[in-house]
C-alpha cells in the first residue's frame, strides 16, 4: 500500500469516527421565562445579588453525577452553558426578582431613601444522581443596610432535595425546581426579616 493510500484510509477512518461520536449537549439552570407573578407586592428594600460560591467538586463545565458507590462521574458530553457558579447565580437572581418585585441592582446606583438587601450564597453541595434526585445544600446570608437602617445580617441554610425523572433533562429540571424552592425560602425570609428584625431563619 502506498503512503498516499494509507493517508487516505486514515483520513476516512477519522472522519467516520467524528461523525459517529456522541454530540455535546448543553444545559442551563435558568428556568424558561414565565409571566410575572400576579399580585406580587414590591419588597421593602432594594435588592442586590452577590457572586455565588460553588462547591469545587462540581464547579466545572461538564456535569458531574454521583454514582451508587460514592464515586463521581464527569460527563464530558453533557455540559452547562456557562460556569456552574454563574448558572446558579443567574437562575437564583431571576427567581428572586420575580418574587421580590424588584430588579437586581448589583453594581448599579441605588436610591438613597430605601435600604439595600444583599444576598450572598455558598453552595456547599450540588448533588446530581441520574434518574433519582437533585440536591442542593446552601448557606445563604442576608445583609440589610442604608436609609437610616442599622446594618444587620442574617445567615441561614437550606437543604433541598428534588426527585428527578428518567434522563439527564429531568435531572436538570429537578435542579431548576430546587433553585426555585430556594428562592421561595430566601424571598419570604428576607421580606419578613426586613419588616421584623427579630424574625429568624426558617426551621
All structural domains of the chain: 45-195 (3.40.50.10610)
pLDDT digits (tens, 9 = 90+) for 173-193: 999 999 999 999 999 999 999
Q: How far is CA 165 from CA 20, 75, 88, 181, in A?
A: 28, 18, 21, 18
Say yes or no to pLDDT of 158 above 80.
yes
d(CA 119, CA 133): 26
Predicted TM-score (pTM) above 0.95: no
pLDDT digits (tens, 9 = 90+) for 63-104: 999 998 889 999 999 999 999 999 999 999 999 999 999 999
Amino acid at each position: 500500500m502506498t503512503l498516499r493510500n494509507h493517508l487516505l484510509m486514515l483520513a476516512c477512518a477519522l472522519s467516520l469516527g467524528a461523525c459517529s461520536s456522541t454530540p455535546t449537549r448543553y444545559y442551563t439552570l435558568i428556568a424558561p421565562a414565565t409571566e410575572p407573578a400576579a399580585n406580587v407586592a414590591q419588597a421593602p428594600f432594594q435588592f442586590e445579588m452577590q457572586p455565588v460560591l460553588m462547591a469545587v467538586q462540581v464547579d466545572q463545565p461538564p456535569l458531574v453525577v454521583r454514582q451508587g458507590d460514592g464515586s463521581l462521574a464527569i460527563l464530558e458530553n453533557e455540559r452547562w452553558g456557562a460556569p456552574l457558579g454563574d448558572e446558579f447565580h443567574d437562575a437564583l437572581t431571576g427567581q428572586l426578582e420575580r418574587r421580590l418585585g424588584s430588579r437586581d441592582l448589583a453594581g448599579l446606583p441605588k436610591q438613597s431613601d430605601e435600604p439595600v438587601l444583599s444576598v450572598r450564597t455558598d453552595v456547599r453541595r450540588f448533588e446530581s444522581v441520574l434518574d433519582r434526585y437533585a440536591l442542593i445544600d446552601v448557606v445563604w446570608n442576608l445583609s440589610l443596610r442604608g436609609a437610616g437602617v442599622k446594618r444587620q445580617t442574617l445567615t441561614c441554610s437550606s437543604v433541598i432535595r428534588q426527585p428527578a425523572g428518567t434522563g439527564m433533562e429531568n435531572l436538570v429540571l429537578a435542579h431548576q425546581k430546587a433553585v426555585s424552592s430556594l428562592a421561595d425560602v430566601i424571598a419570604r425570609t428576607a421580606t419578613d426579616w426586613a419588616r421584623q428584625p427579630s424574625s429568624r431563619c426558617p426551621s
